Amino acid sequence: MAIAKRIIFLTYDGAELLDVTGPATVFATATQIEPAAAYECLTTSVDGGLVQHSCGIGIDTKLISEIRFRRTDTFLVAGALQRPLLRAMNNERIQKAVRRAAKTCERYGSICTGGFVLAATGLLAGKSLATHWAANTLMEKFSANSTINPDALYVQDDRLWTSAGVTTGIDMALAMLEADYGAVIKAKVAKQLVVYAHRPGHQAQFSDVLAAQIRVEEHYAGLVDWLMNRLDKPTKVSDMASFVGMSERSFHRKFSALFAMPPGKFLENLRLDHARVLIEAGEAVTVAGNRVGFLSPSAFRIAFKDKFGVSPRHHREMQAVSSS
């Protein structure tokens, strides 16, 4: 039987529970369904005992001062919203535990805003990292000597691993699993958990749909959903302008300023993003192109490659290899 690799989470009152349970589920599932994989997940805190998380759920934790770190351990710090995060950053016992772990463990890092706890110890100096998109500017102030990858889902810099958001901790855990036991086992776990088998760390945190929904003003409410429900239909800029009740000229100007691209380009990006999802789900390339409104296979192929850097057929082949 393989010797279990320990995944040690450090949490605290007010932390985001999914920062712990998301990655922990990846490692636990690997252990349950794959004989070659072996992990032991430990949840710790500086006081031990029950820790109340932001969702109101408390979990029992081990006293981190009693943990003797090993060279094969992975140590991860959970994130939180501002108030509990600031308390954690200023907690000297947490800082001491983080430094002790980083000195010994094979991997150390954070999920979401847990990177600020690492920053408070100086461990991010000179490092490349990811954090939540809304915290990028603030992280630049707390860790001025770091290189922040604003769009990355997660970043590995030698022994340091950092993820951008709550659910991207799952993506990072899958990448760690692949590093430990290979792509085949990672794909099995992803399939078991019904998650995307391979979202590379450099993939953007947002699709154009999510980015648009974050930026959208009340005046454009419903426009993105309307477009998503008619990707296979011819849609002109004048149609979009009519939907929001504006003149075409005024709509084009205001839309371009808000979304940093013309409305026609935005619609093309929505179509290509959805086409990629369809291809990753096993749809034939030509069918995927038709379903998002591309009548010409060559036009679809050129547009897809311009946006994603690979042809749709090559992208499909890469996904098949990742899941095999």
Enumerate the domain spans of the chain.
Answer: 5-193, 208-323
Residue listed under structure tokens 């994603």: 308
Alpha-carbon span 36 to 182, nearest angstrom:
10
For CA atoms 206, 209, 214, 216, the dihedral sign is positive
String of DSSP letters for 194-246:
T--S---TTSBS--HHHHHHHH--GGGTTHHHHHHTTTTS---HHHHHHHHT-
Place of tokens 């590093």: 179
- In CATH, what class is 5-193? alpha beta
Task: Give pTM, 2 decimals.
Answer: 0.70
Tokens standing for residue 65: 């001062």
Closest CA to 254 of 265, 236, 267, 241: 241
Q: Is 118 helix (H, G, I), strand (E, B) or coil?
A: helix
Phi, psi of 204 (to 5 degrees): -60, 150
Helix 183-193 × helix 18-33 angle, to 10° = 120
The pLDDT value given to residue 9? 98
The CATH superfamily of 208-323 is Homeodomain-like (1.10.10.60)
- Residues with Cβ within 8 Å of 242's Cβ and at least 6 positions away in sequence, in order, are none
Residues, the chain = 324
Q: What is the pLDDT of residue 210?
A: 52
Sign of the Cα torsion 225, 229, 231, 235 reads negative
Question: Tens digit of pLDDT per residue, the chain (324 long)?
Answer: 568 999 999 999 999 999 999 999 999 999 999 999 999 999 999 999 999 999 999 999 999 999 999 999 999 999 999 999 999 999 999 999 999 999 999 999 999 999 999 999 999 999 999 998 888 889 998 888 999 988 788 999 999 999 998 889 999 999 999 999 988 888 889 878 877 554 555 555 555 555 555 555 556 667 887 888 899 999 999 999 999 899 999 999 998 988 888 999 999 999 998 898 888 878 899 999 999 999 999 999 999 999 888 889 888 877 665 555
Q: Which residues does residue 156 pair with via DSSP β-bridges, in sequence order?
A: 161
Burial of 85 (0-12, 13-18, 19+ CB in 10 A): buried
155 DSSP 8-state letter: E
HSE, CB side, 13 Å, CA atoms: give it for residue 43. 24
Q: What is the model's pLDDT at position 309?
A: 82
CA 302 from chain centre, in angstroms, equals 28
DSSP class of residue 53 equals -
The pLDDT value recorded for residue 183 is: 80
SS3 259: helix
C-alpha 252/C-alpha 18 separation (Å) is 40
* Phi, psi at 59, each rounded to 5°: -130, 150
